[in-house]
Amino acid sequence: MEATEPVNNACRQLGLATQTDTSLAKQLLVDRVNQLILNDFEQLVSLLYRLDVSEAKIKELLQSYPQEDAALIIADLVIDREAEKIKSRREWGGKKYDESSGEEKW
C-alpha cells in the first residue's frame, strides 16, 4: 500500500481533494478537522462515527497528550483507520475495492 493511499482516502471521506504530496494532503486533513472542531463539532462526531474511528482511542490520546494539537491527533487516527480498512479489504478480498474512490464496489 502506498503511503498516500490512506491519507487520500481520509481526505475523500472528509470532502477534500486528493493530493500527490502526502504531507500536503495530511495538512489539508488537519486543517479540515480543526475547522470542524471549531465550527461544526456535531458533523465531526458524525464523520468519526461513520469512519469507525474509535471513540476510546480519541479520548485516550487527547487526555494523554493535552499539549498536542487535537486536530492532528484526530487526523492521524482517521488516517490509521483508513489504512486498517485498506489492509483488511486486501487481506479478506470479498467485495472488490475501488482504488480511485476508496469505496467498496457492489
Are 98 and 26 spatial neighbours (Cβ–Cβ below 8 Å)? no
- Break the chain into its structural domains and give their ranges: 4-92
CA nearest neighbour of 70 among 48, 46, 102, 49: 48
Residue pLDDT tens, the chain, 106 long = 567 888 988 988 888 888 888 889 999 999 999 999 999 999 999 999 999 999 999 999 999 999 999 999 999 999 999 999 988 888 877 555 555 555 655 5
Residue 100 confidence (pLDDT): 59
pTM across the whole model = 0.80
Q: Which residue has the cell 472488490?
A: 96
Half-sphere exposure of 19 toward its Cβ, with a 13 Å CA cutoff?
14
Residue 86 confidence (pLDDT): 87
Residue 15 confidence (pLDDT): 87
Residue 94 confidence (pLDDT): 57
